[in-house]
């Protein structure tokens, strides 16, 4: 796989939670590939949400020490902090696309890390926000998605107001 991929909290949770076997398998496959290829990226906000949710009794009920081991391992992915530049871009994303504040910050963190793709089930599959393509890994197969994006090096700029641009299916 080429290009950087930002991973949202829900994908991390499915990777450790076996209660939904199909989503667990897909999330684990993605995570293994991102670790192998060293193309995974993440944000401090995502790690905080993961820890809080992973240690809840029902979701998936990890001990604080187990959850922390996962969080600490992601230091290798150079987590994006929430600095003023992320806040400012998050505000622009929220204003232009009408996303929640928290989703806007995730998009902004992915943009700041030059990620081509954001793995999440929380945004419109194929939607482009601040130059980052949202991809729901549970909707499309992994091989299809790997072929659909290419890394970009130049900084992303915001599109004008309106709905996110949908990608055309690859023939």
Measuring CA to CA, how many Å separate 133 from each of 22, 56, 126, 148, 151?
A: 23, 30, 6, 10, 11
pLDDT, position 160: 54
Show the domain range for 104: 5-148
CATH code of 137's domain? 3.40.50.1010
Task: Give the chain's domain count.
Answer: 1
Q: Identify whether 64 is part of a domain.
A: yes
pLDDT, position 171: 46
Within the chain, which residues score under 70 in pLDDT? Answer: 1-2, 57-60, 140-171
Q: Identify whether 165 is part of a domain.
A: no
Q: Identify whether 154 is part of a domain.
A: no
Q: Identify whether 13 is part of a domain.
A: yes
What is the pTM assigned to this prediction? Answer: 0.79
- Could you tell me if 119 and 108 are in contact, meaning their C-beta atoms sit under 8 angstroms apart? no
């Amino acid at each position: 796989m080429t290009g950087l991929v930002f991973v949202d909290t829900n994908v991390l949770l499915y990777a450790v939670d076996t209660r939904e076997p199909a989503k667990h398998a897909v999330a684990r496959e993605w995570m293994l590939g991102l670790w192998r290829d060293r193309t995974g990226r993440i944000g401090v906000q995502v790690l905080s949400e993961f820890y809080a949710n992973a240690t809840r009794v029902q979701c998936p009920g990890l001990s604080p020490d187990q959850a922390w081991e996962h969080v600490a391992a992601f230091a290798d992915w150079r987590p994006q902090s929430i600095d003023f530049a992320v806040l400012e871009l998050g505000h622009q994303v929220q204003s232009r696309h009408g996303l929640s504040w928290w989703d806007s910050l995730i998009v902004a963190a992915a943009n700041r890390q030059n990620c081509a793709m954001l793995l999440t089930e929380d945004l419109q599959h194929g939607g482009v926000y601040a130059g980052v393509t949202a991809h729901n890994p549970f909707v499309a197969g992994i091989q299809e998605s790997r072929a659909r994006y290419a890394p970009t090096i130049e900084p992303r700029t915001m599109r004008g107001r309106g709905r996110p641009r949908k990608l055309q299916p690859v023939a």
